């Protein structure tokens, strides 16, 4: 009897939950989410970055772009290509890599076997590092 009673209570609670969800308007959780992660420096991607994201995450860290465009500051270009997906506390190091003398982004992107648009990655890293 106890098990049947528990299942009936669970079914009633779930039915009330579904009814409540249909009757109350959905509230956006975006603002609380952004506020919660703001202290960690996490920023949302812009719509343009979201559109390019499948291309940007293809880096396999092979290093061919570094041979084509050289190295700047402290971060190697292969590390730059995937730096936006890493610890945000170290993103400043990658952003420093794209300051100053500009590497040949076109040559670096052309050397990439998976076609990562490195100039787009550098732009994203600069924006995310500034916060």
User: Which residue is associated with the tokens 């992107």?
Assistant: 109
Distance CA 30, CA 96 (A): 30
The pair phi, psi for residue 118, each rounded to 5°, is -65, -30
Give residue-wise pLDDT tens across range 13-34. 999 999 998 999 888 898 998 8
Give residue-wise pLDDT tens across range 43-87. 788 898 888 888 877 888 777 777 677 654 455 555 565 555 555
The pair phi, psi for residue 58, each rounded to 5°, is -85, 0
> Residue ranges per domain, the chain?
2-130
Distance CA 44, CA 60 (A): 23
Predicted confidence at residue 6, as pLDDT, reads 93
pTM score of the predicted model: 0.53
Could you say which of 1.10.1060, 1.10.3470, 3.30.160, 1.25.40 is the CATH number of the domain covering 2-130? 1.10.1060
């Amino acid at each position: 009897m106890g098990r049947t009673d528990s299942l009936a209570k669970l079914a009633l609670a779930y039915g009330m939950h579904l009814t409540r969800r249909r009757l109350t308007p959905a509230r956006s959780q975006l603002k609380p989410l952004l506020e919660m992660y703001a202290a960690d420096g996490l920023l949302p991607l812009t719509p343009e970055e979201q559109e390019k994201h499948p291309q940007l995450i293809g880096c396999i860290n092979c290093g061919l772009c570094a041979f084509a465009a050289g190295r700047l500051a402290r971060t190697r270009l292969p590390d730059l290509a995937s730096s936006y997906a890493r610890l945000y506390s170290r993103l400043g190091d990658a952003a420093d890599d794209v300051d100053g003398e500009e590497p040949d982004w076109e040559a670096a992107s052309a050397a990439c076997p998976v076609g990562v648009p490195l100039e787009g990655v550098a732009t994203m890293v600069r924006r995310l590092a500034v916060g």
